[in-house]
Homo-oligomer: A and B are copies of this chain.
């Protein structure tokens, strides 16, 4: 089992999609800036998310990605599963044969742990996360920062002063 930035990025990106849902597709460039994830890396992750029917894509200008299902029907476990192999803690993928074909001493423990983790992560939907206060606070900060970035990039003189003040 492994949970690295790969799985964390995937969930973060999906949550970003959920938070900004409603006004058409979201481009990966937007997610990249807001969440601080490399654009090319996001493309790789979204290829997998798309293959697993978690998102739909729209090409061309104004295009981007949308959730393929409603937020309440996408849970964290399946997002991680889509990019990682799985949230499986066993070394035998549940088969009970990791010690040269036979069950190892700790097989049942890892099965229990896997069940535990899977139950926890699959009980949390994107909708649940969107409703959380801590998530909303971070999202608000990110949106504010993104707005500032856009003002600066369009060459607004006031933005330089605002930055100096900080």
**Which residues of A are in contact with B by a Cβ distance under 8 Å?**
1-5, 8, 11-12, 15-16, 19, 35-36, 76, 89, 91, 99-100, 102-110, 113, 116-117, 120-121, 124, 129, 132, 134-135, 138-139, 141-142
Contact = CB atoms under 8 A, between A and B. Distances in A.
Contact of A103 (B76, B89, B106, B138): B138
Given A113-B121, A117-B117, 16 more contacts: A1-B1, A8-B91, A8-B106, A11-B106, A12-B104, A12-B105, A15-B105, A35-B104, A35-B105, A36-B99, A104-B138, A106-B135, A107-B134, A108-B134, A108-B135, A116-B116
Given A100-B36, A104-B138, A116-B116, A109 B11 contact: yes
A71 B91 CA distance: 25
A132 B106 contact: no
Main secondary structure of the interface of A (DSSP, over half): helix
A68 to B, nearest CB: 20
A132 B105 CA distance: 11
A108 B113 CA distance: 21
Most interface-central of A19, A109, A117, A121 (chain B CB within 10 A): A109
A99 B2 contact: no
Nearest to A124: B109
A80 to B, nearest CB: 10
A162 B138 CA distance: 67
A12 B106 contact: yes
Contacts of A19: 105
A138 B107 contact: yes
